[in-house]
Every structure is written in C-alpha cells, then in structure tokens.
Amino acid sequence: MTEQITLPTAPGFLWGASTAAHQIEGGNVNSDWWAKEHVPGTLCAESSGDAVDSYHRYPEDVRLLADAGLNAYRFSVEWARIEPAEGEISRAQLAHYRRMIDVCLAAGVTPVVTLLHFTLPRWFAERGGWFAPDAVDTFSRYVETVTQILGDVRHVVTINEPNITSMMLGASRRTNLDAAGLAAPDQAASEVQATAHRRAVEILHGLGHVRAGWTVANQVFQAAPGAEAARDAYAYPREDFFLEVARGDDFVGVQSYLRTIIGTDGEPVPFGDDVERTLTGWEYYPQALGEALEYTHRITGGVPMIVTENGMATADDARRIDYTRGALESMARAMAGGCRIEGYLHWSLLDNYEWMSGFAPTFGLIAVDRTTFERTPKPSLAWLGDVARTGKLPA
C-alpha cells in the first residue's frame, strides 16, 4: 500500500538530477582516470571514450531536464580541463563551464556546481595528488580560479564523496574503485581533504553569495544483533568523520544508494541470495535515503541537507520509479521528523560511465545511444518532473 505523502514543490525546493564531468563529457584525456583506463592491464571494464558527449550536448541535456519540470542540475567542472598543466589556465574551458551555467540559468534551472568529482589532473596525480606536500595550496589555487565564473552561482560542492576517495586511497593506494569497496580509509587523505574543503569554503564565502558544502557517501551502516560497537567503530572513519567536518557548512550533500550491515567481527555481512540486486550488485533498499538523512541530521547537528545523489542502476525503468518512490517516501518521513532538506537531485540525469564498471550499469533518467548520442527520456524523467510540480507521488 503506497503512503499518501506531500512533498515540497519547485521552485522553493531543488528538484533535479546530478552528473559528473568524467562520466558524461567524453575525451577527458588529461585526467588521472583516463590514464587508469588506458594503462596496460587496466581493471576498468572499458574506456570512457566519448562518454555520452555531454561536453557538446549539454544544452539539450539541460533542456530535457527543464522541459520535464525539474529546476536544478548538479554537474561538475573538470579541473583537468581548466588547468591541463600546472599553472596553465585554459580561458576557453572556463568559458565553456560559464556557458553551461548560463544555459541553466536561462532555462530557469539552478546550477549546483561541483568543483571536484573524483578526477584529478594527471600532473597533480603524478605529483602525489592528495599526498603531495602542497596539495591544499594547489587545490585552493584551482578553487580561486573557478570563482571567476561563479558570479551568480548559489550552490557549490567543494569535493564529492571525500570518504570514498579516502577508502580508494586506503586500499593500498590502489586505483580500483570497485575493488576498494569499503576498505579502511587512509586517515591522512581524509584529513588533507578536510583541510582543503575548509579552505575552499572560505574562498567561496569570500564571494559573498555562495552557499558551500561537500557531499558524503552515506552507507547506512546497520548493526547485526550485538554488533553496535563494531558498527560505530566501522562507521566513524568512513562516514562520521566527514559529517563532522560539515558542521557549520551551509549545507551537506547526502548521497545514498544502499545500506551496509556490520557483523560482530566488524566486517560487512554479505547479502543473502534472496535479496534483489541492482545492476551494480547492490541490495535494492530504497528506504536507505530516509535513514541516511536522519543519520546525517543527527551527526551534523542539523546542518541543512541537499540530496545530491540517489538512484539505482537498472535496465527496468519501472523499477527505477519504484525505487525513487520508496526513497522519496522515506525522505518525506525524515522531513516530518525534523530534517531540513532543501532539494532532491537524482543520480543520474543520463546513462553514463560508471567508473570501473563502464557503461553497463544504467542509472539515467535519460537513455543515450552511444553511437549517435541520441537522447531518449525514460518514463522516470517525466515521473520525477510530476513530483516536482505537484509534491505528490504519481500512481
């Protein structure tokens, strides 16, 4: 039985979808991920190649989002394009991202701009990336550079999922996102990203109009019977540390897909065979979103939240709608319970390049033909647009 719930509507609430540059633009040849994809014996399923050519087709992508009734688009600007060699700033690439902002604003779409979504310029990665002695200064200079195009942008995400980055680096500084799983995070990487984030927030606040935050991957760590202490110990360096850094920020981005049950041995309990899995192999568990919001609310002490990612990889769009309905019902319960939530941005606007797994796991509200790049909105796009307009979950 579906609950009858009421959600806030656009324009007061951000209703939209998210993407990340490397996953949709194509040809991100100066980034460390491109290098990882092309190294002999790479563990990446395939090259990101042209991705879905959103670098050229973003006006159409923004138009499809706006036509559906959505009013917010989260995308990332690509450091590897803006600063292809250390200290060499591409005016043309800055102008490109400024045009993206303009296209959003002209369509009545609020841009939510992410400064760093996993990919680093190759030159920075080769110098050690977050382990480089001057990592914070280097990142801060990049943030200063991007402020030139943020004149009328209100929402800026500094770093996407620093906790996943720390776990990837913790997996013996391997380059394999999937294999990194939930590896013990590298605490030095966590701390340097926290410092970089705080500096970035200061720089962005210098503009006077920007609301800044970072996004955290919320795993909804649950304790198996008797495993409460083990769960807390597991969660702290992987999640709570990053949520504590967000205390005092203007917002925190909540990114939720699944839950993780921790056993008394302090390790994740594998799912049973009877559990429905998505194309990424994750458990189908839509209520994770509400639980992630309630947890984030508690650990940050009530910092306003934006759902900056939530969705499922599936070839069955009706199941995507079911998942999103379940997630939004749980979000409504979290709001009724006192959580301050300013927006819901679905992952993802487009079927895209899912890192190590390549193009197979489809998260998009819009399908893309990878040969012609033709876009075909799925029913879930119109469904989400209806929610944004009416505040009701359509049957």
Binding site for ligand BGC (CB under 6 A): 20, 23, 160-161, 164, 217, 255, 309, 347, 354
Q: Nearer Cβ to ligand BGC, position 53 or 309?
A: 309
Q: Pseudo-torsion of CA 285, 43, 186, 361, nearest 10°?
A: -20
Angle between helices 91-106 and 135-147 (to 10 degrees): 50
Q: Nearer Cβ to ligand BGC, position 48 or 335?
A: 48
Find the shortest distance in angstroms from Cβ 391 to ligand BGC.
27
Find the shortest distance in angstroms from Cβ 334 to ligand BGC.
20
DSSP 3-state assignment of 350?
strand
Q: Nearer Cβ to ligand BGC, position 143 or 164?
A: 164
Find the shortest distance in angstroms from Cβ 359 to ligand BGC.
12
Greatest C-alpha distance within the chain: 58
DSSP 3-state assignment of 159?
strand
Q: Nearer Cβ to ligand BGC, position 269 or 279?
A: 279
CA dist., res. 341 & res. 327, Å (int): 14
Find the shortest distance in angstroms from Cβ 33 to ligand BGC.
11
Find the shortest distance in angstroms from Cβ 228 to ligand BGC.
26
Q: Nearer Cβ to ligand BGC, position 20 or 366?
A: 20
Q: Nearer Cβ to ligand BGC, position 110 or 219?
A: 219
Residue among 368, 324, 352 at smallest CA distance from 70: 324
Find the shortest distance in angstroms from Cβ 327 to ligand BGC.
14
Residues 6+ positions from 12 with CB-CB distance below 8 Å: none
CA dist., res. 308 & res. 249, Å (int): 15
256, β-bridge pairs: 218, 310
CA dist., res. 131 & res. 125, Å (int): 9
CA dist., res. 163 & res. 393, Å (int): 32
Q: Nearer Cβ to ligand BGC, position 48 or 71?
A: 48
352, β-bridge pairs: none
Residue among 87, 85, 103 at smallest CA distance from 95: 103
Tokens of 232: 């807390």
Find the shortest distance in angstroms from Cβ 108 to ligand BGC.
26
